[in-house]
Structure 1
Amino acid sequence: MHCSYYDAHVCRSCRWIELPYADQLAAKQARVLSALPPMPWRDPVASPEEGFRNKAKMVVGGTVDEPTLGILDPRGRGVDLRECGLHDPRLRAALPVLAELVRAARLTPYSVPDRRGELKHVLVTVAPSGELMVRFVLRSTEAVPRLRKHLPGLLASLPVAVVSVNLQPAHKAVLEGPEEIALHGDTLTMRVNDLDLHLRPQSFFQTNTAVAARLYHEATGLVASVGPASVWDLYCGVGGFGLHVAAPGRTVVGVESSEQAIESATLTAADLGLAATFLAGDATAYALASAEVPELVIVNPPRRGIGRDLATWLEASSVRHVVYSSCNVDTLARDLTSMTSLRPVSAQLLDMFPHTDHHEVLVLLSRG
């Protein structure tokens, strides 16, 4: 993939972009192989090289009349990246319309050096259908009436399913705050492998839809190969894994700290008539407090991994199988050392993040 921003040293986030994609994939495969114990490996899953990101997280800079949507330079000034080739083309087409809305609604970009302004980020997600979720991260509610005034024009210009305001008043490098104000709609439908997953504004979803679909497909195959009657989906997000593996005669329980994600997963389960229950809470606390133990546990933790407490509980439990989806092979390797009774049966690299050294690894562990 060629990137004029990279060539001009405007943005150097894609550190591997000069490597041919086949070499990137080979380097990632070598990296995860070296970090994990010997086990059978399935063929890696490649990604499209460009246009694969379903979410644009754009820092807003510049001025109200000439806003930038992109990143900040080392001085904290805005750098415009509206034509970033990683983004789905439908995201790129939406960004000029949103920049015009910033001007029309007089949404003053937040200046990090000066600690002044209102609009910090514009977050845009595109569904496979082409519908959009647009979130404006503001410091206060001051600009909300102006956004409401210009909302009809936005809805007429773009296929927007959800519009919201997120409030982040703190002067620190945190993407968003806890409070969300709905302006239009409440859920974006992400169709993945014939399942309509619901995505609400503060719910996590993988940024690479094509590879996420393969991840869920591969995990479903692993679960089917051992045929458990009961499954826990810990760190379940909007229920992608749990909803894919739900089947007649199988109980599925998902646990996730985000209440919005749990609402999304519960809505999808109800729509599809699936016997799956989703609970808001801490995954480790749920496992340690539960009187019942499932046959199989799926874990999809953040980069820090599942940690010693949950790994130790899994080791001491009667859980027969674990499907571990990891975005950090180092914390995965650490967690495996606490689960020595759970033998690695197979592993697979899935490339969610081309042009970087980031990776996703799916591992099946079985006891005995």
Structure 2
Amino acid sequence: MQCSYFDAGRCRSCSLMGRPYDDQLTGKQRHCEQLLPAGVEWLPPVASQESGYRNKAKMVVAGTVEHPTLGILDTDGRGVDLRGCGVTAADLRATFDVLAAFVTRARLTPYDVPTRRGELKYLLLTGSPDGELMLRFVLRSQEPLTRLRKHLPWLRAALPHLRVVSVNLQPEHKAVLEGPREIVLTEVTALRMRVGDVDLHLRPQSFFQTNTAVAAALYRQASEWVAEVDPATVWDLYCGVGGFALHLADGRRDVVGIETSHEAVASAEAARDAAGLTSVRFLAGDATAFALSAGDVPDLVVVNPPRRGIGPELAAWLESSGARHVVYSSCNAASLARDLAAMPSLAVRRARVLDMFPQTDHYEVIVMLEREGGGLGRDQSAAAAEISST
């Protein structure tokens, strides 16, 4: 893939841009193999489409009301327009000119970082596989809200697939994308995100993977590994909107998902209820605190932490917990390797690289850990218990 923005030096976010895709994938596989222990069974890496894979766009708004830019900022804080960004999904790119026109129509003054003046900081856009859209306006204050509401019918007529629209208030001048307060402006409050056989429900402040097709492959891989060991109880720590938990639910298995974000938990519960999955529970809370305070231990734990990893406390708990299996999904192989070193009783049996972020040096990796001397599935455990009682 070639990018005119990259070639012109206007945007360097995609650090591998222009490198043959097979070379990118081979390099990511090699990098991950070097970080993880020897003796792992490696499955073939999961490739992505090279372009148009991003289901979300985080566009900095700059320039003027009459001539807004949608993209990023340069080193001087001036807007660099990236409406033609090739890694962004085509249905999102098709909205950018309309959104720029809406900024002008609603008189939404772009926020100017050097002078700290203006109102509109970001446009956050998410697209579903069915072509539906969620749009969030990140504003410095509520001052433009009346104008935004007034012109919203025009925007919805221009973008008929726009399902959810909200305003996020971020009054502070700092490098934080959004603030805690969200004002939903539409009757629909969640975007339906079809992933494999599961419909997730994304509320405005809930996280979902950037690459829908590769996310589906990630959940599918976890489901296959978990089905092989057939645990009766599963914890999904850092569960987000419930992607792993909902894919692992089989009607018999007791699944608990833990996530700090109340919005994400609400999203997960909505998807669970719509699917009629009565054996899945979601709780808002800190994953480490939940594990340390729980009185029981599940057969299998799924962890999908942010880039920093699970950290020493949770790693120590998993090491001593007695849980037979752990599925660890990581977007940072370096922190994964550090966490694995703190859990020597849990051996990496299988691993797979999934290229969630083509054209960059980032990727996802999922590993299946098994406690040394463990590994009995649900049916095997029942049979062992019956034998021991006779």
TM-score band w.r.t. shorter chain: over 0.9
Unmatched tracts of structure 2, length 5 or more: 373-390
Cα offset, 1:18, TM superposition: 1.9
Number of matched residues?
A: 368
1:26-52 superposed Cα distances (whole Å, 9 cap, x missing partner): 000010000010111000000100000
The answer as to whether partners of 2:3 and 2:18 remain within 8 angstroms in 1 is no
Provide TM-score, normalisation by structure 1: 0.99
| Counterparts of 1:105 and 1:303, CA distance in 2 | 38
Task: Confirm or deny that 1:360 pairs with 2:361.
Answer: no
Query: Structure 2 residue aligned with 1:164, among 158, 163, 166?
Result: 166
Cα offset, 1:173, TM superposition: 1.1
The answer as to whether partners of 2:207 and 2:264 remain within 8 angstroms in 1 is yes
One-letter amino acid of the structure 2 residue matched with residue 6 of structure 1 = F
Give percent identity, aligned residues only.
Answer: 63
SS of the aligned residue for 1:244 comes to helix
Task: Confirm or deny that 1:115 pairs with 2:116.
Answer: yes
Task: Confirm or deny that 1:5 pairs with 2:2.
Answer: no
The answer as to whether partners of 2:333 and 2:365 remain within 8 angstroms in 1 is yes
Query: Structure 2 residue aligned with 1:218, among 215, 218, 221?
Result: 221
Which position in structure 1 is the counterpart of 2:101?
A: 100
Task: Confirm or deny that 1:316 pairs with 2:309.
Answer: no
| Counterparts of 1:83 and 1:272, CA distance in 2 | 37
Task: Confirm or deny that 1:24 pairs with 2:24.
Answer: yes
1:208-232 superposed Cα distances (whole Å, 9 cap, x missing partner): 0010010000010011111000000
Q: How does 1:1-368 map to 2 (within 5 A)?
A: 1-38=1-38, 39-158=40-159, 159-184=161-186, 185-274=188-277, 275-368=279-372
Provide TM-score, normalisation by structure 2: 0.94
One-letter amino acid of the structure 2 residue matched with residue 363 of structure 1 = V
Structure 1 segments (4+ residues) deviating >4 Å: none
Cα offset, 1:148, TM superposition: 0.4
| Counterparts of 1:99 and 1:186, CA distance in 2 | 24
| Counterparts of 2:146 and 2:242, CA distance in 1 | 34
| Counterparts of 1:91 and 1:142, CA distance in 2 | 27
SS of the aligned residue for 2:272 comes to helix
Which position in structure 1 is the counterpart of 2:384?
A: none
| Counterparts of 1:90 and 1:204, CA distance in 2 | 20
| Counterparts of 1:303 and 1:329, CA distance in 2 | 9
One-letter amino acid of the structure 1 residue matched with residue 43 of structure 2 = R
SS of the aligned residue for 1:137 comes to strand
Cα offset, 1:261, TM superposition: 0.4
One-letter amino acid of the structure 1 residue matched with residue 21 of structure 2 = Y
1:311-367 superposed Cα distances (whole Å, 9 cap, x missing partner): 000000011100000000110000001111111110000000111111110000001
One-letter amino acid of the structure 1 residue matched with residue 360 of structure 2 = T
One-letter amino acid of the structure 2 residue matched with residue 79 of structure 1 = V
SS of the aligned residue for 1:238 comes to coil
Unmatched tracts of structure 1, length 5 or more: none
Cα offset, 1:96, TM superposition: 0.8
| Counterparts of 2:248 and 2:153, CA distance in 1 | 40
One-letter amino acid of the structure 1 residue matched with residue 337 of structure 2 = A
Cα offset, 1:248, TM superposition: 2.2
| Counterparts of 1:301 and 1:66, CA distance in 2 | 40
SS of the aligned residue for 1:84 comes to coil
| Counterparts of 1:12 and 1:363, CA distance in 2 | 31
| Counterparts of 1:194 and 1:313, CA distance in 2 | 33
One-letter amino acid of the structure 1 residue matched with residue 284 of structure 2 = A
SS of the aligned residue for 1:31 comes to helix
| Counterparts of 2:231 and 2:152, CA distance in 1 | 48
One-letter amino acid of the structure 1 residue matched with residue 101 of structure 2 = E
